């Protein structure tokens, strides 16, 4: 009778996909041999077949799959155990179904394994933590195992422990019982030579995370000072710890805002830049498992922080913490991106990657960063002309924000509609109005939104919610299942260009990130207040993305896209970093030039109603878009307003299908011109138009 191990060997040797169908044995035969195979060198191959069966919901192989965890408990090889977990966790369904039995198998006699086979014990604990982080199981067994872990165990085990403890704090810092236990264990590991530097680094990360969660400047400053001490000590203890040195510089920069110390901010920005330029590897440390390594796009947040710090250093405002809130928000983004993990594999046809970011209570910080952006908007109303954001509206908004802040600091201050008691709004009319007109504002500002809502009319609230929406979607979420993988892809392609280094890499990536987020936000056709508001009884504002209705209706042109993209950059996270200007509108061109100091990147804007095929668009417009980079860095962008009929397309493209990177080299040239191309869908129908009649 053919043996399961033999069939797995044959399939692997032939390079075939390993599935139960390809194995060709009966379910009973596989089930009887699965346990022994899971304990041997062919376990990773069997795990592939198990994952495939769960992905296809093929229930006949359930007995074989159920035998796998018990067999894996006897696996003596670190490599085979790790490879088996990687293969098995290509399936979300397998992780969920087998999670409990796998966790039990991995944690069984963990203390004994720590003494007998410390490397294997570390791999088993990592697998159990991975399942808990992915929410495949409840974390209680993992927490208990961590509470029982000895702080004086074998060196091979202890040196791998700090990162798992740091991940535990990232994931469950708000669970006081386990968080206190983990912090105490890290404090003990600081005195162990095998784990001391990593333990100090993880303690620093914990303190930085607590600073980002704090709600007053005193607590923020205290935690930053303590975090900096841990990072600096780690950097001094080990020469190659550029990660610790970078985080120490981040703390230095944030603390310098309180001293109005522009030189210190600029110096810290240079330290961060040097660390990134000299050793990108600290973001992708090779000794870490793949699922623990940050995505490539995590680098972009650090580059944007550098740009913001340098801008703040050259124009430090009297109210330094106004800039500091935005810097803190960028640090939050960078930290979340660098510490986001992917416990379940993403190259499966069963769904998007599961990305898990640190659990940081960031509502207060996001509020302050958004309010800082609002104050910037009120000081630069010319950047929001398309939304009819005039001086009078800006003044009303600023007064409402200031009044809300005053009421928060002085509870005795009467509210805008009465004496501040609950009887002022017994029916929840203010909340209902905000939910109807400004849901994003309510989500961001919470209670403060109530005070602001009382002071503004409907038109002003709609306008403010449009600003709030743009502010929210312009922040890249580390777990974004569409934009993060697309950024990773574009970064990989752009990195092949020899000129994509240093300041060019830093600045162009910041622009590309905002361009992708712009494409995603404009793909949401349900947003009705992106282009301003109108008074009651007046026609709605012109939305260039929608199909014109009726004879004589205005048709969209590329200048509409230009104004929208121009405004997006001016009002977004790069507003104090980049100089953005429209180009030659009067001469019939509609382009946007972004200046990062001496570096310039032109975004060519086009419209096309013939075809939206990638090859067609490149053949029509790529050479022109690339031409404008001849006198500066060889990088640029092309945005195309797609006006092709949508009635027969049976739907629209997803945001991650709307952008790609390409190159153009003129005849006789020696340097490729790299261009990122994006499509903004116009002439769009409402979703209901695609329903079958």
Q: Give tens-digit pLDDT for 483-530.
A: 888 999 999 999 999 999 889 999 999 999 999 999 999 988 765 555
* pLDDT tens, residue by residue, 431-465: 888 888 888 888 878 777 887 888 788 887 887 88
Least confident of 20-24, 25-29, 93-97, 550-554: 550-554
Q: d(Cα 4, Cα 70) in Å, to the nearest integer?
A: 17
Which of 310-319, 320-329, 334-343 tops mean pLDDT?
A: 334-343
* pLDDT tens, residue by residue, 221-254: 999 999 999 999 999 998 878 889 999 999 999 9
Mean of the pLDDT values across residues 617-625?
94
Q: For position 280, what pLDDT does the model report?
A: 59
For helices 140-148 and 92-107, angle between their N-to-C axes, nearest 10 degrees: 30
* pLDDT tens, residue by residue, 256-277: 887 888 889 999 999 988 887 7
Residue 416 pLDDT > 50, yes or no?
A: no
Least confident of 307-316, 351-360, 368-377, 410-419: 410-419
Q: d(Cα 636, Cα 604) in Å, to the nearest integer?
A: 8
Instruction: Say which residue, 374 or 631, is predicted with more confidence.
Output: 631
Confidence of residue 333 (pLDDT cuts 50, 70, 90): confident
Long-range contacts of 539-545, Cβ-Cβ distance < 8 Å, separation of 24 or more: 544/641, 544/682, 545/680, 545/681, 545/682, 545/684
Residue 291 pLDDT > 60, yes or no?
A: yes
Residue 413 pLDDT > 60, yes or no?
A: no
Mean of the pLDDT values across residues 543-562?
87
Query: Dihedrals φ, ψ of 406, to 5°?
Result: -65, -40
Residue 349 pLDDT > 50, yes or no?
A: no
Q: Coil, helix or strand for 608? A: strand
Confidence of residue 689 (pLDDT cuts 50, 70, 90): low
Q: By the 8 A CB rule, do 323 and 317 touch? A: yes
Least confident of 141-150, 311-320, 364-373: 311-320
DSSP strand pairing (599-608 vs 635-642) = parallel
Q: Coil, helix or strand for 141? A: helix
Q: By the 8 A CB rule, do 636 and 626 touch? A: yes
Q: For position 693, what pLDDT does the model report?
A: 47
* pLDDT tens, residue by residue, 55-75: 999 999 999 999 999 999 999
Q: For position 467, what pLDDT does the model report?
A: 77
Torsion, Cα 376 377 378 381, to 10 degrees, reads: 130
Confidence of residue 207 (pLDDT cuts 50, 70, 90): very high
Residue 279 pLDDT > 70, yes or no?
A: no
Mean of the pLDDT values across residues 619-636?
93
Query: Dihedrals φ, ψ of 656, to 5°?
Result: -75, -5
Distances (CA, A) of 164 to 133, 202, 217, 246, 584: 11, 10, 30, 21, 55
Q: For position 475, what pLDDT does the model report?
A: 73
Least Cα distance to 276 among 252, 304, 257, 237 occurs for: 304
Confidence of residue 584 (pLDDT cuts 50, 70, 90): low
Least confident of 107-111, 336-340, 486-490: 336-340
pTM of the model: 0.81
Least Cα distance to 573 among 468, 503, 475 occurs for: 475
Mean of the pLDDT values across residues 604-619?
93
Instruction: Say which residue, 465 or 21, is predicted with more confidence.
Output: 21
Q: d(Cα 211, Cα 586) in Å, to the nearest integer?
A: 49
Mean of the pLDDT values across residues 46-57?
94
For helices 298-314 and 262-278, angle between their N-to-C axes, nearest 10 degrees: 150
Q: Coil, helix or strand for 438? A: coil
Distances (CA, A) of 593 to 84, 377, 569, 631: 50, 21, 10, 13
Residue 195 pLDDT > 70, yes or no?
A: yes
Confidence of residue 421 (pLDDT cuts 50, 70, 90): very low
Burial (CB count <10 Å: 0-12, 13-18, 19+), residue 68: buried
Q: For position 614, what pLDDT does the model report?
A: 94
Residue 137 pLDDT > 90, yes or no?
A: yes
State percent of the chain over pLDDT 90. 49
Least confident of 78-92, 190-204, 676-690: 676-690
Q: For position 460, what pLDDT does the model report?
A: 79
Residue 472 pLDDT > 60, yes or no?
A: yes
Q: For position 386, what pLDDT does the model report?
A: 52
Residue 27 pLDDT > 80, yes or no?
A: yes
Residue 287 pLDDT > 90, yes or no?
A: no
Instruction: Say which residue, 329 or 205, is predicted with more confidence.
Output: 205
Confidence of residue 426 (pLDDT cuts 50, 70, 90): very low
The number of beta carbons lying within 10 Å of the beta carbon of residue 463 is 23
Query: Dihedrals φ, ψ of 673, to 5°?
Result: -100, 120
Q: For position 346, what pLDDT does the model report?
A: 54
Q: For position 670, what pLDDT does the model report?
A: 93
State percent of the chain over pLDDT 70. 86
Q: At which residue do the structure tokens 């710090």 appear?
A: 309
Averaged pLDDT of the chain = 84
Mean of the pLDDT values across residues 580-606?
79
Q: What are the tokens at 310?
A: 């340098």
Q: What are the tokens at 452?
A: 């602001």
Least Cα distance to 608 among 580, 663, 645, 581 occurs for: 645
């Amino acid at each position: 009778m053919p043996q399961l191990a033999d069939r797995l060997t044959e399939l692997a040797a032939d390079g075939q996909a390993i599935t139960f169908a390809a194995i060709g044995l009966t379910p009973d035969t596989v089930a009887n041999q699965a346990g022994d195979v899971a304990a041997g060198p062919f376990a990773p191959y069997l795990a592939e077949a198990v994952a495939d069966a769960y992905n296809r919901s093929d229930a006949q192989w359930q007995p074989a799959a159920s035998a796998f965890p018990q067999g894996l408990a006897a696996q003596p090889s670190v490599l085979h155990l790790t490879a088996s977990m990687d293969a098995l966790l290509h399936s979300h369904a397998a992780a969920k179904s087998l999670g409990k039995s796998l966790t039990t198998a991995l944690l069984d006699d963990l203390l004994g394994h720590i003494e007998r086979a410390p490397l294997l014990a570390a791999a088993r604990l990592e697998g159990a933590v991975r399942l808990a982080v992915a929410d495949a199981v409840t974390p209680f067994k993992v927490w208990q195992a961590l509470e029982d872990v000895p702080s004086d165990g074998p060196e091979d085990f202890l040196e791998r422990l700090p990162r798992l403890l740091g991940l535990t704090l990232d994931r469950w810092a708000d669970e006081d019982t386990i968080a206190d236990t983990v912090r105490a264990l890290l404090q003990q590991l600081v005195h162990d030579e095998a784990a001391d530097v990593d333990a100090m680094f993880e303690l620093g990360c914990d303190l930085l995370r607590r600073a980002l969660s704090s709600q007053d400047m005193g607590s923020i400053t205290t935690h930053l000072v303590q975090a900096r001490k841990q990072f600096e000590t780690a950097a001094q203890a080990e020469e190659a710890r550029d990660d610790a040195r970078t985080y120490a510089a981040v703390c230095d920069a944030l603390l310098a805002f309180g001293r109005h110390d522009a030189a210190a901010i600029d110096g810290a920005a240079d330290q961060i830049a040097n660390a990134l330029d000299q050793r990108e590897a600290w973001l992708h440390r090779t000794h870490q498992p793949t699922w623990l390594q940050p995505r490539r796009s995590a680098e972009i947040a650090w580059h944007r922080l550098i740009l913001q710090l340098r801008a703040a250093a050259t124009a430090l405002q009297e109210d330094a913490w106004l800039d500091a809130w935005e810097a803190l928000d960028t640090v939050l983004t960078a930290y979340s991106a660098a510490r986001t993990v992917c416990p379940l594999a993403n190259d499966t046809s069963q769904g998007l990657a599961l990305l898990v970011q640190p659990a940081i209570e960031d509502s207060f910080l996001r509020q302050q960063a958004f309010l800082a952006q609002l104050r910037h908007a009120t000081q630069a109303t010319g950047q929001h002309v398309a939304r009819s954001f005039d001086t009078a509206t800006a003044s009303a908004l600023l007064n409402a924000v200031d009044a809300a802040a005053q009421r928060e600091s002085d509870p005795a201050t009467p509210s805008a509609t009465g004496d501040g008691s609950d009887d002022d709004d017994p029916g929840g009319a203010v909340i209902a109005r905000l939910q109807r007109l400004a849901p994003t504002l309510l989500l961001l500002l919470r209670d403060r939104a109530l005070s602001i809502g009382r002071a503004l009319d409907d038109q002003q609230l709609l306008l403010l919610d449009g600003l709030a929406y743009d502010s929210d979607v312009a922040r890249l979420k580390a777990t974004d299942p569409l934009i993060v993988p697309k950024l990773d892809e574009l970064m990989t392609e752009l990195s092949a260009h020899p000129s994509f280094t240093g300041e060019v890499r830093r600045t162009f990536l910041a622009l590309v990130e905002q361009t992708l987020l712009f494409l995603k936000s404009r793909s949401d056709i349900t947003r009705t207040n992106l282009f301003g508001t109108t008074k009651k009884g007046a026609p709605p504002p012109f939305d260039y993305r929608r199909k014109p209705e009726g004879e004589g209706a205005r048709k969209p042109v590329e200048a509409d896209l230009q104004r929208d993209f121009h405004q997006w950059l001016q009002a977004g996270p790069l507003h104090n970093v980049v100089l953005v200007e429209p180009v030659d509108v009067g001469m019939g061109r509609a382009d946007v030039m972004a200046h990062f100091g001496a570096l310039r990147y032109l975004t060519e804007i086009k419209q096309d109603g013939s075809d939206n095929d990638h090859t067609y668009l490149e053949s029509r417009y790529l050479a022109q878009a690339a031409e404008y980079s001849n006198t500066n860095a060889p990088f640029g962008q092309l945005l195309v307003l797609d006006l092709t009929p949508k009635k027969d397309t049976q739907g629209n493209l997803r945001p991650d299908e709307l952008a790609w990177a390409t190159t153009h080299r003129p005849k006789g040239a020696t340097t490729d011109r790299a261009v990122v191309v994006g499509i903004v869908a116009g002439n769009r129908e409402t979703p209901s138009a695609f329903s079958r009649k």
